[in-house]
A and B are shown apart, each in its own frame.
Chain A
């Protein structure tokens, strides 16, 4: 708050005087003197207050004159000399509050004993604390069919709804998907979607936490637990590189629910549906014990056998074939401590490493002098998003933060092939050929020409004058190019670049010593130079480009060790398989896209009962390199190398992000990228960035099936030319396979492109499009 001592005003709440900035909502000011004014609809994260529920009624006197009616303390703000009396000291306020509660409960079923919200329900709590003890309601209450699915992951009980509009405000004003609305009017109002179709927004689950009653509840948690038999464990989501802070609800040894643990600098209390609902279940599909291959196939082995054999093979290969004959590859699905352990192993056997598919697209540290924090978006006046992938697909809730900044006045400029969810309300949208992100970045940096027909003059002019521009490149292009642009724009002095790594802990893995790219490893495998490879939490044949080549290359390797939670296709090429733990089972730290180190806490035990770090330490021990089997110890070693060493205990609660040096060095010169080839006649350019809802956990989660439902998007002119209409079922055949789904028509997707939410191995190139 910018208020200085001099422009504070004096307000009295129930006789307690307070100096406060003018214009503060009364509910907030009252809290400062320890007075609770009960609220249902007030939620500053949803935008300006709307005064819908009237729970916060108070008596107000200004300049000695009483306002004629009770006032809503959420919409009314502080003025000098205001005297506020809450229900605690004012009979009219008390009467008003009682009446409001009675009114809110008029049609409420009061079925708390069978309601999942019971025990953690604001309506229940506030009724108990403030409400009249009895009801005068004798006539039958309005009833609805219940519960109804709002989507496969959210249920609605309309009888319980108090029409506070938190959920619809989230949908229209935060996620801006506008899918959840209040239909009808007055007493007939119901919260609904269009034609009862599922609410498919990537952030829909947040409404279950916003709803102050048991009207919107998460389907997977239905009848799973009561609040007095659960423990909420603080940890961090590793669904993507944002690292949203979460509580995982533990009941009788099972992780039953994920809810937000608001870190204002990271997630502001939002989660995406992937982080909230994706589960590594059923446990029966998990790899529970190590496997070793003999001539007849893979067979269970003890941990001792499997780790020893892994170590011996790596040592053997490196002794026989020399340095560089072993590779350790991850996609970022591991902790910093695990990465440190693997890196120590890699050093001892002279292994090559990789933390992402393409070396040039993973050099995140190049951006360090220009790196923006997530909350830099709040301060930005210009946000530039370049790339065909949606921000939500790369970095979940950062999408919400960009929207918030745009609503607060930042200019949002998007350069993309179009058809993303972020572009609809953008301040400016520049349509660019699919796959041209690298060329655009180079052109803006003055290191190449813009693709034909793309006018970047307006964007260039905005970038030149913005005081706090934030640059986001969603497509995996060479980091050196982004560095060049950041340097040209002097983003170490104003604003910055927000890195968009693909793997949740790709940055951490690099810092801990697993740098490098999968492209070099693939080439090494193909040439026969690399004879042994360890795949840590990664199936390159499903998650990385060049899936076919990876298949062939892995089949040729002498030793493939897979560390995985599930059976995947890489397992079929593996000689040794080590079960991996997943998010809720891990202890350690992860580094998010900003470089913020956050702590993961184990909520449950994996089916193998062994921590990954213990297994890594066992391998390292055979190789004669010391790796402590405890995360805290490994972290201490790691932290010693940080510019600002944070201790293990400093990572408790909400992890800070110390500011870093911003000395820019001269960027590496890179050749201007080639433009992607135009497709052959009658074919379309494929736009298929990996969706947020992809990967083994998402695939196994029934509550997310609707989010993965395939769709196909075409430009309206192309659709007309093909004679196809919205919802027609369309098949798109490309090098990686065939994708079939209902058509979405876009006016912004560039002509000649087809966008699909393909969750298989990343596909590029061209495609044929037919009605099926």
Chain B
């Protein structure tokens, strides 16, 4: 058991009247530590927050920002919701798939970049929106893909 995670989660729990309320933060801390939420990570979170492990999974699988599968060093998330779809998100996805050689929802063969779809990122007026290692990029077009991927391939993991 890694006690730093345990302690960090206790600190989050202390902020709320009910430990259940700290679940999102607890999952975020575990993901920050392990990069993705493996079954073992869920069990650890469950022990730290003293909630059933299935409920931790239920919450994590509801939200897009938790990774339930291993991810590459970088994570590229393309908003495919309505507003972004109307202004060309599909082209952006296709360009990423071409450039990375992997399909949406998977990781490039060199393990560098994971390409995932996400629901609305809240930047609907500036679509298509792409989140790269949790930083938003607005008005993203297929042309932006090549240089971005080249940069990601050469840099260390960043999310």
Contact = CB atoms under 8 A, between A and B. Distances in A.
A193 B62 CA distance: 15
B47 A745 contact: yes
A179 interface: yes
A699 interface: no
Given A183-B61, A424-B50, A178 B55 contact: yes
B90 interface: no
A747 B48 CA distance: 10
Interface string A161-198: 00000001000100001111111110000001111000
B55 A172 contact: yes
Nearest to B1: A716
A102 interface: no
A726 interface: yes
Given A195-B39, A716-B1, A181 B50 contact: no
B61 A184 contact: yes
Nearest to B43: A726
B61 A185 contact: yes
A185 B118 CA distance: 13
B55 to A, nearest CB: 4
Given A179-B54, A745-B47, A194 B42 contact: yes
A662 B1 CA distance: 53
Interface string B5-48: 00000000000000000000000000000000001001100010
B51 interface: yes
A172 B53 CA distance: 12
Nearest to A176: B52
Contact of A180 (B50, B53, B54, B62): B54
Contact of A194 (B1, B47, B50, B57): B57
Contacts of A184: 61-62
Nearest to B55: A178
Contacts of A193: 54
A181 B43 contact: no
Given A194-B42, A195-B39, A182 B58 contact: yes
Contacts of A178: 51-52, 54-55
Which residue, A180, A181, A195, has most C-beta atoms of chain B within 10 A? A181
A183 B52 contact: no
Interface of B is mostly: helix
Contacts of A192: 54
A181 B51 CA distance: 13
Contacts of B58: 168, 181-183
Contacts of A195: 39
Contacts of A747: 50
B37 to A, nearest CB: 12
B66 to A, nearest CB: 12
A409 to B, nearest CB: 15
Interface size class on chain B is 10 to 19
A759 to B, nearest CB: 24
A195 B1 CA distance: 20
A722 B55 CA distance: 30
A181 B57 contact: yes
Contacts of B47: 726, 745
Nearest to B64: A185
A745 B48 CA distance: 12
A178 B56 CA distance: 9
Interface in B127-153: none
Nearest to A177: B52
A181 B1 contact: no
B124 to A, nearest CB: 19
B57 A183 contact: yes
Contacts of B39: 194-195
A164 to B, nearest CB: 16
A60 to B, nearest CB: 31
A179 B61 contact: no
A194 B55 CA distance: 8
A195 B38 CA distance: 10
Contacts of A182: 58
Contacts of B53: 194
Nearest to B56: A194
A185 B62 CA distance: 5
Contacts of B62: 184-185
A311 B50 CA distance: 59
Contacts of B54: 178-181, 192-194
A603 to B, nearest CB: 36
Interface in B58-108: 58, 61-62
Which residue, B39, B50, B57, has most C-beta atoms of chain A within 10 A? B57
A181 B46 CA distance: 14
Which residue, A177, A184, A194, has most C-beta atoms of chain B within 10 A? A194
Nearest to B48: A747
Contacts of A424: 50
Interface string B104-121: 000000000000000000
A195 B53 CA distance: 10
A193 B58 CA distance: 9
Contacts of B1: 716
Contacts of B50: 424, 747
Interface in A258-277: none
Contacts of A185: 61-62
A747 B47 CA distance: 9
A424 B42 CA distance: 18
Contacts of A177: 52
Contacts of A194: 39, 42, 52-54, 57
Contacts of A168: 58
Which residue, B57, B58, B62, has most C-beta atoms of chain A within 10 A? B58
A161 to B, nearest CB: 15
Interface string A181-225: 111110000001111000000000000000000000000000000
A194 B38 CA distance: 12
A747 to B, nearest CB: 8
Contacts of B42: 194
Contacts of A179: 52, 54
A203 to B, nearest CB: 14
A182 B43 CA distance: 18
A179 B58 CA distance: 10
A347 to B, nearest CB: 54
Nearest to A190: B61
Nearest to A181: B58
A513 B138 CA distance: 84
A195 B42 CA distance: 10
Contacts of A181: 54-55, 57-58
A359 B133 CA distance: 70
A424 to B, nearest CB: 6
Contacts of B57: 181, 183, 194
A172 B52 CA distance: 9
Nearest to A178: B52
Contacts of B61: 183-185
B152 to A, nearest CB: 28
A168 B50 CA distance: 18
B2 to A, nearest CB: 12
A192 B39 CA distance: 14
A716 B51 CA distance: 17
Which residue, B1, B52, B53, has most C-beta atoms of chain A within 10 A? B52
A713 to B, nearest CB: 13
A278 to B, nearest CB: 25
Interface of B: 1, 39, 42-43, 47, 50-55, 57-58, 61-62
11 contacts: A178-B54, A178-B55, A180-B54, A181-B54, A181-B57, A182-B58, A194-B39, A194-B42, A194-B52, A194-B53, A716-B1
The 5 closest A-B CB pairs, nearest first, are A178-B52, A181-B58, A194-B54, A178-B55, A181-B54
Interface of A: 168, 172, 177-185, 192-195, 424, 716, 726, 745, 747
Given A168-B58, A194-B57, 18 more contacts: A172-B52, A172-B55, A177-B52, A178-B51, A178-B52, A178-B55, A179-B54, A181-B55, A181-B58, A182-B58, A183-B58, A185-B61, A193-B54, A194-B39, A194-B52, A194-B53, A726-B47, A747-B50
